[in-house]
Amino acid sequence: MEFSSYLKKAIDPSSYKIGIAEFTSVSSKVLREPNKGHTILKDYFSDKMRYKAIAEIMEENKDSWEKMSIEDKEVLVKEREDKLWESIKKNGLAAFALIFGISI
């Protein structure tokens, strides 16, 4: 998907949340093809993470967002995506440890 498509969708408030229909759709795809489950989930959540990163960057840079070049926007969004994924990895590991009673 082109970066401009992500920008358009990031502006749409309905893209910020995972609805029941979306959850059902993704879950059913994983159930139909369990061997591709990881890929299906990764692709879906990669898009969601990109939308969230774009929305956060736009919110933080309200004044200068329109003046930035596409390349600058892409760099900022990529950095924010990496930061969000790192946060999920850290918090996901902590949640996993908490669920299974592992101390880290």
The pLDDT tens digits of the residues spanning 73-89 come to: 899 999 998 988 888 77
Domain count, the chain: 1
pLDDT tens track for 30-74: 888 888 887 887 788 788 888 888 888 888 888 888 888 889 989
Please state the pTM of the whole predicted model.
Answer: 0.59
Domain of residue 75: give its range. 3-100
State the burial class of residue 77 (Cβ atoms within 10 Å of its Cβ: 0-12, 13-18, 19+).
buried
Query: CA 13, 71, 85, 59 torsion: positive or negative?
Result: negative
